[in-house]
Amino acid sequence: MTFAELQHQLLGRPGVTEETPFGPDALVYKVRGKMFALVAWNASPLRISLKCRPAHALELRAEYTAVQPGYYLNKQHWNTVTLDGSVPEPVVDQMIDESYQLVVRGLPKQVRAELSGGTT
């Protein structure tokens, strides 16, 4: 997965913004001000940190060596994934979806409705 493909996938979700609060080497993707992805876009290979349910985070770490506890993040709720091709893209896509959904679920009902195209 290239950086452009990853960026397109992250920014293609409703309400997502890209910011650099930690400096130019770390791109933070937020939905309505809440972080769901952190990308080390200058790293080779790319690395992305994603929010995850704690039990699922442990399962992914056990299955893929490229999935490690979140780098500088809460290690119970975040994984850092090295995008070296060892984790299949559909699995990475599912991890991104899970991270986004976990953050959206924590938003107020009205905001969730706006993001899904519904009304309150």
Q: What is the CATH number of the domain that holds 98?
A: 3.90.1150.30
Question: Looking at residues 95-120, what average pLDDT do you find?
Answer: 89
Kindly state the helix (H) or strand (E) to which residue 81 belongs, with its residue range. Answer: strand 78-82
Packing angle, helices 89-105 and 3-11, rounded to 10: 30
- Measured CA to CA, the distance from residue 15 to residue 79 in angstroms comes to 22
Amino acid present at 46: L
C-alpha 105: how far from its chain's center?
Answer: 14
Contact 47, 80 (CB under 8 A): yes
Say if 98 falls within a structural domain: yes
Q: Is 120 part of a structural domain of the chain?
A: no
pTM of the model: 0.93
| Domain region containing 62 | 3-115
Q: With bands split at pLDDT 50, 70 and 90, how would you rate the model's confidence at 1?
A: confident
Structural domains counted in the chain:
1
Check residue 71 and give its pLDDT.
85
| Confidence check: pLDDT of 80 > 50 | yes
Share of the chain above pLDDT 70, in %: 98
